[in-house]
């Protein structure tokens, strides 16, 4: 049975061999769209994106964030008026999940951008200095990476957020007022998420810089900076893209964890994490308080993991699919 | 082999130094626990100077680090601000086993952590055992039945679990197994049967109850927290085992074994599993020490009195000595396990050369 | 196929396994498990925080107990309550200087006779005698003999104690002291034989027997019993003895063999469950038999099967406490800012919402009991305009001056010309509360209301006893002043206009010298202290009330305490296990369980 199912893969591989003229990007895109889970993930993500963008046309942010002044609005089960019900202080859960989703995704994307930049940069520098007279840079950087990897991420995150989050103000971002804890969380997730990637990039650099095209570039007198950014970096893109994608899913979860432990984004700014956190006091009676944010978090992370999986398969030159 | 062991141990030393520096900086970044005295008009400047001096906060940061490591009983501390040393410090430093005192509980930090550690280990290690047993079963099964209906279901469930925050799983588990199960009554053969429901709070039944504190009672209390902790890890691990099993099953030597006509069961369990489990050993060796950090979220939800809860409380009250020791303990365990894993691997896998 | 079978077997096994243990929750009627939302550090009688008083009430009954909604007093250790009528209280003339100006006046100071009941035994079988009462008196009078115990007014107002016979002690005051029944009262709850003489395990407070203590009671090995979670050494006088104290888990009490009678409930377990939702769940699944002190509007107990509930009027009023001390955000030290904050909060609306319609009308205007509050004392009503004016006056301005335009989402106020702060510092306050429902919800509402006047808040919900209320010495948030606003309740003495020096006098401010101080708002006013002392030492009830009227505005003007919600105490009992009609409880925080020995299991 196992051998039978392997055959189609073999056939696909033959088919690809025929179209040798295609660029690697085209091949990757084609492979990606053949990946059923990845496409499902893409659809899911598109739906969630629509949910958090189109939703803002119907509700204002201050509607989402202000407690109701009418007592009978508190703890309302889903109804025609409040499709997803209301929370402990009468805020519309639907509106809050819409605006909360924006913040959650924003936090995830920005923090992963930081983590990826940091990880790539450190990986490149570290890998490139191995075997040169600057190899002590590599030694120090890698000890830092190993030391940071020896701390449990959550504990690192909590210590950092405790020291960051307590002394910050509110910020104005694109006309929206947000608790500055948003920035603190972004920084904290960004600063704790780069170590894995820096190791991957470093090992890639180590093997790439012995390859002919790099050796010849160096022989032709190309500068170190040029070699790193023009020759080595482009060849590291695949793992970077994959870990960025998976990292975004992880960051959404991380934000939820921090919120759950009371170190997350401050009220009244909503995030999926802190909506869910407030729901736990009333888990059995007020099921609608955790269903919606819980479902949205799971769906989004699931979609991103699917896409990440698809990307990994599509970008892996050894993949047979 | 001896040289290899020695070299690996020597390699760990710079790492330990780096861990020490980072722990120190991390905890210092939390702030100075004496800060609220600075503004207090009833604490004179001289008094504040004295207290800060004794606690070492007046020293330059590098010296603070040195004193934290080797102790400050070798140096005279200036406590009256005249620039001349007056009394010897009293801290013996972490390398001499002086981890300081918990400001909150007025007990040695090591004792505070020691009292919670068994609880955390009980929870963490049980969850780990459950994880590995189930992950192996699922991983092997799905690898043997690749793309079957069950494989697809397991894959889908793994993906969903993997995408959930653990507290959502825990809340769902509480909701289903503790709340709904209790409310549900099913009728079998005319008898109303109450569904069994699991406790959601604490580590054992209260004293005075039947069975309280017995082994079965403790196990019963562990069911939900362990399940929740294991659920997420099983998802990841079983995928990993499935992948490495598939790798091995498609390799040449398994094909050779098959062609020799060995029974399939023998191939699976002796030849394939043995080789597929090598990467698993690495994974376990690298993950296991993190159990010491406690499952912060899970312990919080299930009222499990372990390291995770201690960490949160200590963070809230800036109980620095406890925090330092806690972080240090975990990091050290990670380094040691890394070392052990490497050595273990070197013994098991003949391809690893001691070069 | 083999694996599928294994898997099924495994699952089946798990199910059977869990079925077997699902049944063990059947309970022994003689054991009651009380869910307890706070966890005391140590259930030591030396600690006088409310949450440990609940517990010590079980094993350390004092000379009398407070009872019921009528607050009638019942003698416990003494034969009868001293009063002028029964001749156990007399007065003597003393010279006092009420104004502190040097002119002496003659006044009537009480002399109170305590007559212990005959045949009282400590839980280790030693008789309770007048020496125990005298031991307490000596402790109170010698500051070096005790660090951790609040001595309050005692050393100041008590003139002396005299042993009349083995069971009788006479306590005299040096000034008029109308509250002798509840303030600076003699206690006999300390087993002297554990600290004095040969019985004291090598430690004695008074080696030479001259009545002057030469050791500190905090050093006594006796108290190590608490820390080692093995309180077998602990000696008390009450229906129960503490048999186990498991930090983070529970405190377990068993019957005291030397208590006159045997209660129907033989084991009492306080299970520490810190979150309201978990408490409800524990009640629903039968892990606990009794829950108390929960919110009376939002709770799930009423709907539970086999659970009966009742409400008793409480002494707790949830309030906003404002830190005016040096560690607060600098704006908080300006009384105009504190006033502005109150005017920006719709307190009556919040009380109506979270305590039931009409609660807003009953909000107390002062921390002191309503019957002793000056009727002319104001109530800072919800007034956004006034809040904005006050903030602007105090130098906290709307930086784009469009207050009127964007009321729905105003920009945060920034400093302009505030002393010690650079211009443009935003007004952001730290707002703490404990996780008791509905405090976090009220916190959210207040945050939104404060935002309407441009005040930003960071919300923190932290564990009460271990983090929020912990003492200065154990780095509590309140007592080290690391907060700006906090929401919690502090009970008063409903029978007296007396304040507590710990709570509001300058001397109560926590510091290095006073690590157990509880005046965490840093309210300090010498005139207030003087009047407060006078209230405490005036015999004439009407004059006391008048003095109180003079004192209360000083506290009111400081604007550090603002009621937000009256908190009646909700009680829920597993009626399938206990007879709810026998569950009588006290209304003061310290005496909830003062009649627990009369509670009965369901028949």
Boundary (domain end) residue, out of C195, C211, C226: C195
Contact A280 B171 (CB under 8 A): yes
* Per-residue model confidence (pLDDT) at position A17: 47
Residues C388 and C441 in one domain: yes
C contacts of B313 (beta carbons < 8 Å): 463, 466-467
Rounded to an integer, the average pLDDT of A108-136 is 91
Whether B323 has a pLDDT exceeding 80, the answer reads: yes
Q: How confident is the model at residue B192 (pLDDT cuts 50, 70, 90)?
A: low
- Domain annotation covers residue C521: no
Contact C441 A88 (CB under 8 A): yes
The answer to which of A106-115, B133-142, B299-308, C7-16 has the lowest mean pLDDT is: C7-16
Closest chain C C-alpha to A260 CA, distance in angstroms:
11
Task: Name, of A49-63, B303-317, C342-356, the range with top average pLDDT.
Answer: C342-356
Mutation for A interface: B146, B167, B335, most A CBs within 10 A:
B167
B contacts of A273 (beta carbons < 8 Å): 165
Instruction: Please tell me the distance from the alpha carbon of residue C109 to that of residue B183, in angstroms, as a whole number.
Output: 63
Chains contacting B (3+ CB pairs below 8 angstroms): A, C
- Domain annotation covers residue A21: no
Rounded to an integer, the average pLDDT of B204-217 is 65
Residues C299 and C407 in one domain: no
| Residues forming CATH 1.10.3720.10 domain(s) in chain B | 116-348
Instruction: Please tell me the distance from the alpha carbon of residue C291 to that of residue C385, in angstroms, as a whole number.
Output: 43
**Which domain CATH number covers C588?**
3.40.190.10
Helices (H), B163-306: 166-173, 181-183, 215-249, 252-259, 264-266, 273-287, 296-302
Count the domains in chain A: 1
Whether C455 contacts C483, CB under 8 Å: no
Q: Is C215 near chain B, with CB under 8 Å? A: no
Contact A88 C428 (CB under 8 A): no
> Between chain B and chain C, how many beta carbons pairs sit less than 8 Å apart?
139
Task: Name, of A24-38, B98-112, C325-339, the range with top average pLDDT.
Answer: C325-339
In a 13 Å sphere around the CA of C570, the CA atoms on its Cβ side amount to 24
Contact C3 B137 (CB under 8 A): yes
C contacts of A260 (beta carbons < 8 Å): none
Domain B116-348 has CATH 2.60.34.10: no
Contact C276 A75 (CB under 8 A): no
Instruction: Please tell me the distance from the alpha carbon of residue C412 to that of residue A189, in angstroms, as a whole number.
Output: 27
Q: How confident is the model at residue A110 (pLDDT cuts 50, 70, 90)?
A: very high
- Domain annotation covers residue A279: yes
* Per-residue model confidence (pLDDT) at position C150: 65
Instruction: Please tell me the distance from the alpha carbon of residue B114 to that of residue B334, in angstroms, as a whole number.
Output: 18
The answer to which of A1-10, B72-81, B155-164, C342-351 has the lowest mean pLDDT is: A1-10
Strands C413-415 and C396-398: antiparallel
Q: Which residue of B has its CA nearest to A4?
A: B146
Q: Which of C276, C353, C444 sits opposite A267 (nearest CB)?
A: C444
Contact A283 C462 (CB under 8 A): no
Contact B18 A143 (CB under 8 A): yes
* Per-residue model confidence (pLDDT) at position C344: 93
Q: How confident is the model at residue A14 (pLDDT cuts 50, 70, 90)?
A: very low
Instruction: Please tell me the distance from the alpha carbon of residue C239 to that of residue C123, in angstroms, as a whole number.
Output: 9
- Domain annotation covers residue A244: yes
* Per-residue model confidence (pLDDT) at position A278: 76
Q: B 152-191 residues with CB below 8 A of A?
A: 159-160, 162-168, 171-172, 174-175, 179
Residues C83 and C45 in one domain: no
Contact B303 C252 (CB under 8 A): no
**0.90 exceeded by pTM:** no
**Which domain CATH number covers C432?**
3.10.105.10
B contacts of A306 (beta carbons < 8 Å): 159
Residues C270 and C281 in one domain: yes
> What digits encode the pLDDT tens for the residues C7-30?
555 555 554 444 444 333 334 448
What ipTM was reported for this prediction?
0.83
* Per-residue model confidence (pLDDT) at position C354: 84
Domain span holding position C161: 72-195
Q: Is B111 near chain C, with CB under 8 Å? A: no
**Which domain CATH number covers A141?**
1.10.3720.10
Q: Which of C277, C412, C444 sits opposite A170 (nearest CB)?
A: C412
Contacts of C148 (CB under 8 A, 6+ apart): C46, C47, C218, C516
Q: How confident is the model at residue A207 (pLDDT cuts 50, 70, 90)?
A: confident
The answer to which of A203-207, B34-38, B139-143, C532-536 has the lowest mean pLDDT is: B34-38
Contacts of C577 (CB under 8 A, 6+ apart): C27, C29, C32, C289, C601, C602
> What digits encode the pLDDT tens for the residues C352-389?
888 877 888 888 888 888 888 888 888 999 998 899 89
Count the domains in chain C: 3
* Per-residue model confidence (pLDDT) at position B108: 86
Task: Name, of A198-202, B316-320, C248-252, C418-422, the range with top average pLDDT.
Answer: A198-202
Instruction: Please tell me the distance from the alpha carbon of residue C466 to that of residue A279, in angstroms, as a whole number.
Output: 24
Task: Give the C-alpha distances (Å, rounded to integers) separating C512 from B9, B163, C315, C472.
Answer: 47, 49, 31, 8
Residues C308 and C395 in one domain: no
**Which domain CATH number covers C187?**
3.90.76.10
Contact B141 C509 (CB under 8 A): no
* Per-residue model confidence (pLDDT) at position B9: 84
Instruction: Please tell me the distance from the alpha carbon of residue A227 to that of residue A225, in angstroms, as a whole number.
Output: 5
Q: How confident is the model at residue A198 (pLDDT cuts 50, 70, 90)?
A: very high
A contacts of B147 (beta carbons < 8 Å): 5
> What digits encode the pLDDT tens for the residues A156-189?
888 888 777 655 556 666 666 666 778 888 888 9
Which stretches of chain C drop beneath a pLDDT of 50?
Answer: 1, 15-29, 45-51, 404-406
- Domain annotation covers residue C230: no
Domain span holding position A227: 26-314
Question: Token pair 């703890």 is at which residue?
Answer: A75
Q: Which of B174, B290, B335 sits opposite A283 (nearest CB)?
A: B174
Q: How confident is the model at residue A50 (pLDDT cuts 50, 70, 90)?
A: very high
C contacts of A181 (beta carbons < 8 Å): 458
Q: Which of C300, C430, C448 sits opposite A268 (nearest CB)?
A: C448
Q: Is A250 near chain B, with CB under 8 Å? A: no
Residues C168 and C301 in one domain: no
B contacts of A299 (beta carbons < 8 Å): 163
């Amino acid at each position: 049975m196992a051998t039978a199912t392997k055959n189609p893969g073999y056939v696909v591989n033959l088919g690809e061999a025929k179209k040798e003229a295609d660029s690697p990007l085209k091949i990757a895109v084609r492979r990606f769209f053949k990946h059923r889970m990845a496409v499902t993930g893409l659809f899911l993500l598109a739906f969630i994106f629509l949910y958090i963008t189109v939703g803002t046309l119907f509700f204002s942010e201050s509607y989402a964030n202000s407690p109701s002044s009418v007592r009978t609005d508190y703890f309302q089960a889903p109804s025609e008026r409040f499709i997803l019900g209301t929370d402990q202080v009468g805020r519309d859960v639907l509106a809050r999940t819409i605006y909360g989703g924006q913040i959650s995704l924003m936090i995830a994307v920005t923090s992963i951008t930081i983590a990826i930049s940091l990880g790539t940069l450190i990986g490149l520098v570290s890998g490139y200095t191995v075997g040169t007279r600057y190899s002590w840079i590599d030694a120090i950087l890698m000890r830092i990476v190993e030391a940071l990897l020896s701390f449990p991420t959550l504990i690192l995150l909590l210590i950092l957020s405790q020291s960051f989050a307590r002394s910050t103000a509110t910020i104005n971002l694109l006309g929206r007022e947000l608790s500055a804890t948003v920035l603190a969380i972004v920084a904290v997730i960004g600063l704790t998420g780069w170590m894995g990637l820096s190791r991957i990039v470093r090992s890639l650099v180590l093997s790439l810089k012995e390859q002919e095209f790099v050796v010849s570039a160096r022989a032709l007198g190309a500068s170190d900076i040029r070699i790193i950014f023009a020759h080595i970096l482009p060849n590291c893109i695949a793992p970077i893209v994959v870990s960025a994608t998976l990292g975004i899913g992880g960051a959404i979860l991380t934000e939820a964890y921090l919120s759950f432990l009371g170190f997350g984004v401050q009220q009244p700014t909503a995030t999926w994490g802190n909506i869910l956190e407030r729901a736990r006091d009333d888990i059995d009676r007020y099921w609608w308080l955790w269903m919606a944010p819980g479902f949205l978090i799971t769906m989004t992370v699931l979609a991103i993991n699917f896409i990440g999986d698809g990307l990994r398969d599509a970008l892996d030159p050894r993949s047979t699919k | 082999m001896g040289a290899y062991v020695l070299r690996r141990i020597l390699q760990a030393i710079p790492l330990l130094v780096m861990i020490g520096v980072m722990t120190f900086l991390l905890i210092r970044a939390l702030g100075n626990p004496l800060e609220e005295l600075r503004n207090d008009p009833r604490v004179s400047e001289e008094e504040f100077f004295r207290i800060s001096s004794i606690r070492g906060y007046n020293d330059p940061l590098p010296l603070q680090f040195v004193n934290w490591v080797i102790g400050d009983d070798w140096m005279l501390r200036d406590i009256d601000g005249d620039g001349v040393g007056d009394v010897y410090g009293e801290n013996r430093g972490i390398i001499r086993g002086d981890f300081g005192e918990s400001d909150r509980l007025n007990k040695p930090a090591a004792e505070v952590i020691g009292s919670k550690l068994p609880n955390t280990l009980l929870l963490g290690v049980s969850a780990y055992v459950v994880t590995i047993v189930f992950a192996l079963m699922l991983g092997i099964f799905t690898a043997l039945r690749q793309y079957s209906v069950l494989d697809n279901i397991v894959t889908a469930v793994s993906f969903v679990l993997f995408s959930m925050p653990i507290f959502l799983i825990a809340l769902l588990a509480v909701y289903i197994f503790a709340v709904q199960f209790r409310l549900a009554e099913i009728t079998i053969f005319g008898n109303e049967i109450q569904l069994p429901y699991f406790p959601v709070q604490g580590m054992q039944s209260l004293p005075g109850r039947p069975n309280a504190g017995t082994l079965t009672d403790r196990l019963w209390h562990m069911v939900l927290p362990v399940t929740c902790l294991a659920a997420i890890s099983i998802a990841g691990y079983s995928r990993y085992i499935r992948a490495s099993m598939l790798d091995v099953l498609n390799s040449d030597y398994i094909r050779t074994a098959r062609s020799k006509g060995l029974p399939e069961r023998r191939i699976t369990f002796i030849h394939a599993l043995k080789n597929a489990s090598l990467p698993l050993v690495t994974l376990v060796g690298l993950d296991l020490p993190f159990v010491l950090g406690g499952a912060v979220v899970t312990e919080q939800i299930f009222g499990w009195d372990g390291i995770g809860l201690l960490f949160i409380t200590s963070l809230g009250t800036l109980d620095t000595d406890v925090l330092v020791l806690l972080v240090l303990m975990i990091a050290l365990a990670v380094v040691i396990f890394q070392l052990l894993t490497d050595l273990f691997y070197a013994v098991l896998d003949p391809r690893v050369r001691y070069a | 196929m083999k694996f599928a079978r294994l898997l099924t077997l495994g699952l089946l096994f798990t199910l059977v396994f869990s079925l077997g243990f699902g049944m063990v929750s059947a309970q022994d009627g003689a054991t009651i498990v009380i869910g307890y939302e706070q966890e005391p550090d140590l259930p030591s009688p030396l600690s006088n925080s409310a949450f440990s008083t609940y517990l010590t009430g079980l094993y350390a009954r004092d000379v009398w107990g407070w009872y019921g909604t009528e607050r009638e007093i019942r003698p416990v250790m003494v034969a009868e309550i001293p009063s002028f009528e029964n001749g156990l209280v007399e007065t003597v003339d003393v010279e006092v200087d009420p104004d502190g100006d040097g002119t002496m006046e003659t006044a009537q100071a009480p002399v109170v006779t305590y007559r212990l009941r005959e045949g009282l035994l400590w839980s280790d079988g030693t008789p309770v005698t007048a020496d125990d009462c005298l031991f307490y008196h000596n402790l109170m009078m010698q500051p070096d003999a005790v660090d951790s115990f609040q001595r309050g007014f005692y050393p100041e107002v008590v003139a002396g104690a005299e042993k009349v016979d083995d069971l009788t002690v006479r306590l005299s005051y040096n000034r008029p002291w109308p509250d002798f029944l509840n303030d600076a009262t003699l206690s006999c709850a300390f087993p002297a034989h554990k600290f004095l003489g040969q019985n004291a395990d090598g430690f004695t407070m008074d080696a030479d027997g001259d009545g002057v203590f030469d050791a500190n009671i905090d050093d006594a090995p006796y108290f190590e019993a608490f820390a080692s979670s093995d309180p077998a050494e602990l000696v008390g006088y009450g229906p129960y003895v503490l048999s186990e104290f498991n930090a983070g888990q529970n405190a377990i009490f068993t019957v005291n063999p030397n208590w006159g009678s045997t209660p129907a409930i033989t084991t009492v377990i306080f299970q520490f469950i810190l979150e309201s939702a978990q408490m409800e769940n524990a009640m629903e699944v039968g892990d606990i038999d009794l829950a108390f002190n929960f919110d009376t509007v939002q709770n799930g107990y009423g709907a539970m099967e086999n659970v009966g509930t009742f409400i008793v009027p409480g002494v707790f009023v949830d309030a906003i406490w404002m830190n005016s001390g040096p560690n607060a955000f600098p704006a908080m030290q300006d009384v105009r800012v504190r006033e502005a904050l109150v005017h920006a909060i719709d307190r009556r609306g919040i009380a109506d919402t979270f305590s039931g319609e009409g609660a807003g009308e009953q909000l107390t205007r002062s921390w002191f009991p309503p019957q002793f509050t000056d009727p002319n004392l104001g109530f800072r009503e919800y007034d956004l305009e006034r809040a904005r004016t006050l903030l602007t006056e105090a130098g906290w301005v709307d930086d784009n001056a469009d207050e009127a335009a964007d009321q729905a989402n105003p920009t945060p106020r920034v400093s302009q010309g505030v002393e010690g702060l650079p211009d443009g510092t935003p007004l952001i306050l730290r707002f703490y509360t404990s996780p008791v429902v509905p405090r976090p919800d009220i916190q959210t509402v207040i945050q939104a209301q404060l935002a309407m006047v441009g005040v930003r808040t960071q919300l923190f919900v932290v564990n009460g006893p271990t983090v929020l209320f912990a003492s200065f010495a154990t780095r509590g948030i309140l007592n080290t002043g690391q907060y700006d606003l906090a929401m919690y309740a502090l009970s008063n003495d409903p029978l007296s206009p007396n304040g507590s020096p710990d709570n509001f006098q300058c001397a109560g401010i926590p510091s290095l010298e006073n690590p157990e101080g509880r005046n965490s708002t840093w309210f300090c006013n010498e005139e207030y202290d003087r009047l407060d002392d006078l209230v405490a030492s005036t015999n004439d009830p009407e004059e006391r009330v008048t003095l109180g009227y003079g004192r209360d505005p000083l506290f009111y003007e400081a604007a550090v305490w603002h009621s937000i919600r009256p908190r009646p105490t909700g009680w829920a009992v597993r009626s399938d296990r206990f007879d709810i009609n026998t569950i009588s409880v006290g209304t003061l925080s310290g005496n909830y369980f003062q009649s627990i020995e009369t509670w009965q299991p369901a028949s």
